[in-house]
Amino acid sequence: MAKVTVKDPAGNVMAQFEANSEESLGTQAQEAGAPIPFSCGVGACRTCVCKVEKGLEYIDREAVGPMHIMVEDDENLTCVSGIKPGTAADAEIVVVAENL
Ligand code: FES
């Protein structure tokens, strides 16, 4: 578990939620109300990309599937990324959805 905050590019908070390690970060963000767009859904297009402002160490960029394209070190494709198992419940992650 971890506390995740999703912002839009202007810095507005779109959603905050307790994330699990089973589902992708993007799916959980959508369910929490942040409309992060998906297109391919398999880590191949950048539509769902988020920049990580805080908590990069808690994110497994290929938690639910492999990335098929390269992204910057502080970015993750939220359709395939997720929270690392065993992450402390009080861990904080802040991401900015670049295509909101
Ligand atoms: S929706 Fe295409 S990379 Fe995530």
Predicted pLDDT of residue 47? 98
Confidence band for 1, pLDDT divided at 50, 70 and 90: confident
The span from the CA of 62 to the CA of 73, in Å, is: 13
Q: Ligand 1, from 27, 30, 79, 99: best to mutate by most atoms within 8 Å of Cβ?
A: 79
For residue 21, the SS3 value is coil
Question: Mean pLDDT, to the nearest integer, of 17-23?
Answer: 95
CA of 99 to the centre of ligand 1 (A): 11
Kindly state the tokens that stand for 43.
């880590």
Domain of 52 in residue numbering reads as 2-97
Structural domain count, the chain: 1
Contacts with 98 (C-beta within 8 Å, 6 or more apart), sequence order: 9, 49, 50, 51, 75
Q: Is the CB of residue 29 below 6 angstroms from any atom belonging to ligand 1?
A: no
- What would the pLDDT profile of 44-77 be if each residue is shown by its tens digit? 999 999 999 999 999 999 999 999 999 999 999 9
For the domain that residue 78 is a member of, what is the CATH number?
3.10.20.30
